[in-house]
Structure 1
Amino acid sequence: MAIYQAAIERRQKDGSAPDPNADPTVLNSMVGEWIWQRNKDQRRFFVEESFPMEWSYPNAVPHGLCYEIKKDPVPVLKPELVQGDMDYWSEYIDHLKNDPRFEDDIDAQRSFSKLRNTGGNIYKWRQMPEAAEKAYRQALELWPGNTETLNNFSELLLQQNRAPELRDILERASKADPNNGLLAMLLGNCERKISLGKEITALETQWGTTKDAKLFQQLLAKYSEEGNLAKADPLVKQGAILFPTNAEVLRDVVNYFAIQNRVPEALEYGKKLEKVSPDDADLKLGLAKFYMAAGNRAEFYRMVKEAVRLGGLPMREKIAMEPIFQQIQAEPDFQSLIRNAQ
């Protein structure tokens, strides 16, 4: 129970932390960490990872078929260690393939491929893309249908804008395993990435000659879908200058920042939108959420009262049912605000 509670608290403090209610491996990983923390001073730890334990990666050093969790963090994996790891697996893969039993032993293929996948994950976490790619390719050499590796490898190649190359890899894997739903999904995502790139290129060409509000919204939506903040953020600043009173543009910008949980920016543009649409009750409610997330309780109550003034009883009912406000349900000010809705 204590480990579960710790996972919940970690999730509450950091929205990007794993959710133990959605992913049961989170607790298994935390148990592993608990054991390591209490024994790392007495003995060395070697792990055959069956599910990702990212907490261990700062201390992780490849060691043959497994990896060692060092007592202290390892700042850098030295080149000779990485090369030794690559050489070990190259030789071991040759050893396995020279065994006639390996070709028909799907369990062995999956097991050894999964072990090599772990090395790729460690290198990927350490932002060593070349080493990660080599490890993932070795894992796929052992078992081309390893969906865990293909998923991780997909992320790596897409980050490097190598979608066409990834598509070829996924197409071969899908042909070998046509009933694999995850492979079909990965291939679909890859094909969407390729088509999205073409759509963005066309829109960028138009945007270069025509500064149109609808075109801005389309391009921002495409950048958001691609996750390209490096291009989206400057576009947002440009759009705010070009269309300072366009409510639809400002609303899209607010949503762009809200989806990323970038509360200060969402508030900044939400205030701009409020000046354009001062009687929008739902906007007041949205601003109230941002103020609550920012810890500004006074502005939260001011804004939520404005939402009720403009939205009446339906807005009271909406606020009373809003999940994000459950933590303050017992506050007298909040009870007074929603009393007529109950």
Structure 2
Amino acid sequence: QYIRNHYSTDRPEPKSWIERWLGRDKQYPKAPLVLPRQEDIMAIYQSAIEARQKNALAPDPNADPTVLNSMVGEWIWQRNKDQRHFFVEESFPMEWSYPSAVPHGLCYEIKKDPLPSLSAEIVQGDMQYWRDYIDHLKRNPRFAEDIDAQRSFSKLRNTGGNIYKWRKMPEAAEQAYRQALELWPGNSETLNNFTDLLMQQNRPEELRDILAKASKADPNNGLLTTLLSSCERRIRLKAEISNLESQRVQSPKDAALLQQLLGKYAEQGDREKADRLVAEALKSFPTNAEVLRDSVNYFAVQNRVPEAIEYGRKLEKILPEDADLRLGMAKFFMVSGKRADFYQYLKEAIRLGGLPMREKASSEPMFQQIQGEPDFQKLIHPVQ
């Protein structure tokens, strides 16, 4: 309503001399913005719900209200970008805008069209602007006592880091995040984003020092405690991986060592090494059911369904009577949209698993959306 009152045809006329004195009749542009009506917002919400139903990894507008806010923002931009310039002080991340985002002082501009890259001049200008502005703020003795100001300016600088991070510009993102933390060391949003960046670069020791400092300054911050604990786990994980790699050099045919190492790589998020190990496992242990099962689970957890199906088929040949494996394969085909294969595997799972498997399939959350399908009902409630 605030935006509508300022930028739409619904804008009320200034009624009092105070409003006229403030320039309310001249302050805002005469040409109105195109803004969504209630039915438009409901359509946006419905599209978000449908996207969530099709993809469990899609943002959930019911769990996170910023999802709908971001989508409404995109709707407004799409319908006004040819007539207006858009500048944003980001309250919550709007990743849809990052392909067209250009740093602009304390905020950023959403250009009409996507930019293939951000030039070195743009990045350098942004860094210098913030360096000068931070120095300006620090020269004011009141800034050190104004926690609200520290948080506000730190949050604004965090946005620049998000844009650079999205563009896979790690050096620029790191510099922006460090500037945000210079303004407010306890900025949880920045620390969370910075944690992700440094973890990707396998720099947990450096991150631990940053988080320990922030946690000491804000000991009641649960997120900082969680991030620090996760970082310390990553440091231990690094040592565990190094130890397992050394053991495998001595015992390359030890399947248990390979399984442990695959689990550690997966926990670390090192997809390249994990994929290599899975390929090696297939050559070294082609008939080891547990090794193959771990490979299937590795791909499934990452939602890499085609690979999970590929390795699941290999496991089928070794375990032709495994009902749970058939149910797992049915889920993969369900996600893939291959309904005929789904029903074939579900039928086989129930044949092998009997009544317990039928009950398990009936209560499986993934299958709730197809409970009413005749083919599903025939399998779950067969005619006696």
Q: Report TM bin, short chain.
A: over 0.9
Among the aligned pairs, what percent are the same residue? Answer: 75
Deviation at 1:340, TM superposition (A): 4.6
Corresponding position of 1:119: 160
The separation in 2 between residues aligned to 1:200 and 1:3, in whole angstroms, is 46
What is the aligned partner in structure 1 of residue 257 from structure 2? 215
Q: 2:81 aligns with which of 28, 40, 43?
A: 40
Amino acid of the residue matched to residue 266 of structure 1? A
Q: Deviations over 1:54-81 (max 9, x none)?
A: 0000010111010001111111111111
Query: In the alignment, what sits opposite 2:220?
Result: 179
The equivalent of 1:247 in structure 2 is 289
2:355 aligned with 1:306: no
Structure 1 counterpart of 2:178, one-letter code? R
Instruction: Report the counterpart of residue 53 of structure 1 in structure 2.
Output: 94
Q: Does 1:139 align with 2:187?
A: no
Q: What is the aligned counterpart of 2:335 among 287, 290, 293?
A: 293
**Aligned equivalents of 1:38 and 1:86: distance in 2?**
32
Q: TM-score, normalization: structure 1?
A: 0.97
Instruction: Pick which of 161-170 and 8-17 moved more.
Output: 8-17
Q: Indicate the residue corresponding to 2:200 in structure 1.
A: 159
8 Å CA contact 1:316–1:340 kept in 2: the answer is: no
In the alignment, structure 2 segments of 5+ residues that lack a partner are: 1-41
Alpha-carbon distance, 1:13 to partner: 4.4
How many angstroms apart in 1 are the aligned matches of 2:122 and 2:287? Answer: 58
More RCO (CA 8 Å, sep 6+): 1
Match of 1:226 in 2: 268
How far off is 1:7 after superposition?
1.4
1:256 aligns with 2:256: no
How far apart are 1:161 and its partner, in Å?
1.4
- Structure 1 gap segments, 5+ residues each: none
**What letter corresponds to residue 206 of structure 1 in structure 2?**
Q
Q: Deviation digits for residues 284-318 of structure 1, max 9, x if unmatched?
A: 11111112222332222221111111111111111
1:23 paired to 2:64: yes
The correspondence for 2:315, drawn from 246, 264, 273, is 273
Report the CA distance between 1:243 and its aligned residue: 1.5
Distance in 2 (CA, whole Å) between partners of 1:220 and 1:63 is 45
| CA–CA separation in structure 1 for the residues paired with 2:148 and 2:352 | 64
Secondary structure of the residue aligned to 2:93 is coil
State whether residues 313 and 340 of structure 1, in contact with CA within 8 Å, keep that contact through their aligned partners in structure 2: no
Q: Distance in 1 between matches of 2:51 and 2:371?
A: 23
| Aligned counterpart, 2:146 | 105
How far apart in 1 are the matches of 2:56 and 2:353?
30
- 8 Å Cα contact 1:109/1:143 also seen in 2: yes
1:250-280 alpha-carbon deviations (Å, 9 max, x no partner): 1111111111111111111111211211111
**What secondary structure, in the 3-state scheme, does the structure 2 residue paired with 1:37 have?**
helix
Q: TM-score, normalised by structure 2?
A: 0.86
Q: Whole-Å Cα distance in 2 between the matches of residues 158 and 99 of structure 1?
A: 35
CA RMSD of aligned residues (A): 1.5
Q: Could you tell me how far apart the structure 1 residues matched to 2:57 and 2:128 are?
A: 36
